[in-house]
Amino acid sequence: MAAPTKIIERTPDREERAEGVAPVCVWFGPSVGPSETRHVRRFLGSHNGVAVLCWPRDAVEGRNLAQLGIPRLFVLDPARRRPEVGMLQDWIPNTAGLGDVYPRLVALAEQSARRRATSGRPTLDCDGWLHLGECRVELPAMIRGVAHGLLTHFGHPMDFVELARLCFCDFDRMHARLRWLGGCVAPLGLEVVVEADDRCVMRLCASSPRERA
């Protein structure tokens, strides 16, 4: 019987934080159902995480994660054909120790951090795809208006009442749609936050780097 899927978040120590090393989140385990897969993608995207996958079993999921901009580290039998190595993707033999694995995880997380910090403002196209740089996610039709409203003020809070009025939506439905939107954009490293003073904002996740002036 296959082992259950595991999610591990390793918090760096003080010395690593001083050097600017991001926390590394790791996903490994067998193939899982759609609901758990969505949860893991959100977790990885919102924590600048790295997906650890089995090659070639998880090749399709690797392509899905690439579209979202989530970095991938494939574990494989050295005798097998190897996946490509490039931006946000690497591989390591299944005989590797932690001393070999961890530097690769850090390198992938840092590549992801740099990409997000320089991707510019997210945009929403006419087909409902929200883009952050070269990465994208398709939004359901019911929340595209909410996304459009927040994107016009990206990174800056806007009045909740104004957003509800623009979307012809009552408060309860607006709260539900904001939660829905937040779940959809989390894999890209974005978050939707409703603040205490009845303002809401879409921005880079708190665990993602901001571009430094």
Q: Which tens digits make up the pLDDT trace of 78-130? A: 888 888 888 899 999 999 988 888 889 999 999 999 999 899 999 999 999 99
Q: What is the pTM of this model?
A: 0.84
Quick: pLDDT tens for 12-34. Answer: 444 444 455 444 566 656 656 78
From the CA atom positions of the chain, what is the Rg in Å? Answer: 18
Same-domain status, 161 and 199? yes
Is 213 among the domain residues?
Answer: no
Q: How many domains does the chain have?
A: 2
What percent of the chain is helix, strand and coil (3-state, nearest 5)?
40, 25, 40
Residue 147, domain extent? 123-204
Task: Answer with the one of 99, 117, 135 that is the final residue of a domain.
Answer: 117
Same-domain status, 96 and 197? no
Q: With bands split at pLDDT 50, 70 and 90, how would you rate the model's confidence at 71? A: very high
Check residue 183 and give left, alpha or beta (phi > 0: left; psi -120 to 50: alpha). Answer: alpha
Task: Answer with the one of 117, 141, 175 that is the final residue of a domain.
Answer: 117
Same-domain status, 34 and 127? no
Same-domain status, 70 and 128? no
Q: With bands split at pLDDT 50, 70 and 90, how would you rate the model's confidence at 3? A: very low
Same-domain status, 89 and 133? no
Give the C-alpha separation, 195 to 157, whole Å. Answer: 8
Q: Does residue 1 surpass a pLDDT of 80?
A: no
Task: Answer with the one of 93, 117, 141 that is the final residue of a domain.
Answer: 117
